[in-house]
Structure 1
Amino acid sequence: MHSQDQAVLLAILEAAVDAIIVIDSRGAIQTVNPATIRLFGFEKGEMLGRNVNMLMPSPFHEQHDGYLANYLQTGEAKIIGIGREVIGKRKDGTTFPMHLAVSRMAVGDQILFAGIVRDITDIKNAQQQLALANERLEQRVQERTAELRAAQADLLKSERMATLGQVSGGIAHEIRNPLNAVRTSVYYLRNVQNPSPEKVNEHLERIDRQVSMIDNVITALSDIARMPEPAVIACDVKDLLGKIVSSVSMPANIRIESNLPDSGFQAAIDPNQVSIVFRNLLRNARDAMPDGGKISIAGRVAPDELVVQVSDTGIGIKPDDLARVVEPLFSTKARGMGLGLAISVAILKKNKGRLAVESQLGKGTTFSVHLKPFSQEERSHDE
């Protein structure tokens, strides 16, 4: 049985794919398998009895004997029982990366060490190629990111320029008309002979009105640009709307109906800012019904938001104009500045809300104000 075991072990040694090298306590090679011969290029007779450091390049060649002596003296293992990546040297002087696992053996009263060596050149090459591919990929990602940012900057610039052109055209229209009226009155006052006091006063009042109109345009635009950060609190929307309705003048031929929840209708908003939104909507609804009608104010609690709808039974908005009603300086009114809804949108955006509109010609318009509800988490935070 003992001889059979030896035969099996010898067969394993001979057939092993990995190189197997056995050395004694002085580092002298005792035996090697065929895989070792193929890997290093030495014949078996060229290796037997020689120090195993012949298979190592500098500085491992010079350091190996010290590692072995240190282990035998202290028992501190650097490779033995651990395994690590090292560099091997072939007979022709070329080097290659290899994984070395060393085990200690006691054969009778002799200490031997068996080293199993595997060539990991292909693995290292694959790792280098993967690292290079990752580096190239990272570079491409950075390049594409830079291109995307540049494209976004160009798009933003284009959008800003388009908006600037759109707004500047509206501003020019809103300011040019009053200026023409002022110019006409100034021309009259300068050139008319002996004007009556009534005529002088009429033109001075006209100039004052037109200057006030220009000032209103500039003030409204400044309000949009410099809208302060909202002071958000828990606001009872029903109570807020009640106060707003009572503050907006309505003709006798317009009635207001309100249908708002009695509880659970608290929004996280700045009431002073959002009041401006509802006042604008009520005035717009009033102005859309010159012959009278009904304004309906309805509220509902939707998932993650509160919705307040302000509806009128007025003339409605043309489909082509519906998408533009919130643009600065766009108005469907003959004498409107077209800033009320633009300001409303800006206010709601700062208060984490939004505005939607639906309309049918001859039937009326509904503006929906979507607000953020005041949550229990916000309540706890404020307390």
Structure 2
Amino acid sequence: MTRNFIVENIEDAIIILDPENRVLDLNPAMENLLGVSHDVIGQPFANIAPHTIHLFKPYLSQDDVHGELVFPIPSGKPRYFELRLLHAEGNNQRIGRLFILHEITKRRVAEDRLRQSEAMLRALVEVAADAIISIDADGQILAFNAAASRIFGYTAQEIIGQNVKILMPEPNSSNHDDYLRRRKSTGETKVIGVLREEYGQRRDGSVFPIHLAINEVNVDGKLIFTGMVRDVTESKRIERERDRLFEQTQTALAETQAYAQRLDLLNEMSQQVNMGSTEQDIFRIGTKYITQILTPDQIAISLTTDDPDYLEIAVHESEHHIVEVGDRIRVGSMAMKEAVQERRSINAKTLDGLQGPYVEATRRQGIQSSLLAPMLVNQNLVGLVGIGSKKVAAYDERDENLLFHIASFLGIAIENIRRNRELQQAIQAADQANRAKSEFLATMSHELRTPLNGILGYVQILSKDRGLNTKQQQGLSIIHRSGEHLLTLINDILDISKIEAKRMELSLSPFNLTDMLESISSIIQVKAEQKNLSFRYEALSELPPAVYGDEVRLRQVLLNLLGNSVKFTDQGGVLLKVGYHEEKIRFQVEDTGIGISPEALRVVFQPFRQGNKQSRATLVEGTGLGLAISNQLVNLMGGHLQVKSYVGEGSIFWFELVLPGVEDWVGTPKIEEQNVIGYRGVSRRILVVDDRWENRSVLTNMLVPLGFEVQEAVDGEDCLKKVATFHPDAILMDLRMPVLDGLEAIRRIREMPSGKKLIIIAVSASAFEYNRGESFSAGSNDFLAKPFRFGKLLDLLAAHLRVEWIYENDPQVSEAEQGDGAITTPPEEDLIRLLDHAKRGNIRGLTEEADRLTESGYKGFAANLRVMTRSFKLKEIRDYIQQHREQSDG
């Protein structure tokens, strides 16, 4: 065998093997495919193609095979080949096998894409709003989508395989086979690609109108017809109703050109009355068009009153006035009674026989016939429209229809104006109610926060007294927890009111996520231990130290969810899981508590819902707003609060938030308020302004022990006087005060030359966001809501006055300054001054006196005084000073 058997330039890959599967010959295409050269001739095929021999192996022992091979390509997508195996002959004898590989990769890719397209098409067909039905050339149904099932009432399983005639009423059902036969024999395509109206027949036998469009495709020589069917029952009904109403008017005016003109006027009037803004506008427009359309000698429009036997004149136009606008007329004549009671037009071709004062007065004006039409809105009577003529039998049936339509237009327009007026009144009433609600909430918030400020403030002051015994400390702790609980309830009510009014806003800033989670965990740990429950916090992944978001609202949500879990768990424990991935943080709270029933789960995020009685019977406190607020806050932060719970097993609440990490962020360290005993540097003056003495007392007793010089003002006017004489470094300003409120006082201070740079911190029990905004607009430097934590006050003072706090365990001040031997008592005047500082709780004054006594040679006395001062042992300080006074007297 020579190489002449191989076509050198053919694209197909060809190789010839002898009966022992040695290579007899191969063309360049096969060499490229196998990655070999022409030198492999004579070698075993298994040796030259070890990586592809498994593809050929099934065919090495076969004859005359037609198959398919897939060549894997390490660096790319696989290649597909069509394989033909033939006998190779030479000198009239069989010498081996001829393998021909024809590449079909493009065809296979196209087939794959076609299958994908078909799958997508099937999905689109199933979600289409219109019915899509495919049949073959014999009318057998091949495909039937979901919309078709909804429209015709058959399932796809029931209908596929049946003749499409089942979906057609007669005579279309009987004629359909004839059409298909003509289509086969003549190729007639008059219905293909044309949208037309037909009728369909549902499973229950009902016939309904449809819009039908048909397309045909040839699939492997077979015709497939696909129809798109739209149920137009409702649109046809609307069309018929529209045509009916139009024809009612059109018929009345179609006989002559004059009626056509009157119809135009009627249509014009229907547009004009809709533009009226008052009832007087409607009456003016109605009178104008009644005159043009019906040319009456008298027009009267009257409205219903609270007495069904009387109508009130709204319009009366005639040659001579017989009634005035606003007059009430009795529904006395038979014609008026029929029009009112039967809600239809009444054509009195003559007034003879009709009785009543109004009829008599009309007749005296020469009116011989009248036409009445009720103004109706949904069969409710609004009033009557009446016209009169000096001719007998002046009006016919067409005039009745015209006036009836005119009256209907007027009635609808009047009713719309009244409804709009009522709507505006309702909106105004709702606005007033909302304002009243907001004012009430603001007032109640202020009134409740004010005494709470005194309670919680003095709890913080008294808790620093080292002389308290255990029982007293426990009592203060109970007062503090109760006050904080009441404050939480107040905040819940304010939060839900903000959410309902769409006024809740986030305050976004960088914050330390790790510190926040550890702080929350320490709080919940204490609560869990009080119930003998376990609590664990798990960080499922490394969390960024700082993120960007609303720390306050996130803390509020987590404390609420964890607090609820502790509250409703009696055995087991509570678990907080937090995981971070791609700037999404998942917070998950799990407990082994009593769980939530399926009924309660459906309403668990609604306000004022505290769980169902069966699963949460132990609940005895709270507003029922916590989960509702948490849900809204999570939504506001871009997440979705979810829950899974089973009664008796426990609950899992979770949500995910996008909290971008913040790099190179250094937070402001929080002040450990319980350890602050003073500050370094020059003495600072603070003016406390509040009309409530208890609020002033709280601030004064917090600040004086730290060494601040404090004065008090009882209102804004008093504040202005003391700013001029006291020259404070900072002002703590209440906002709601008599005589002159805090906002106006701030504005006036900013107008003073010395007040432009003065630090002013608004301290108010009015804690709404707009109160904060008002204070900043007036010129305050910051805002502190009552009741406040001592540490928050210290944070603000440190930030604005730039003071450096002295802590109880600060190494710079904690060195014992011992005397050389016996303690020498200072002079009496020094002792009196020290005792005055101790009685007033002036820790800074005591510290300064201790420094002065050290320089004067009373180191031992001063060292003992410093130790007691750093621990706020005011009673021990007073006893210590008094003891030395008595020794001095002795």
Return the TM-score normalized by structure 2: 0.18
Which protein is bigger by CA-based radius of gyration? Answer: 2
TM-score (norm 1): 0.39
Structure with greater contact order relative to length (CA < 8 Å, sep ≥ 6): 1
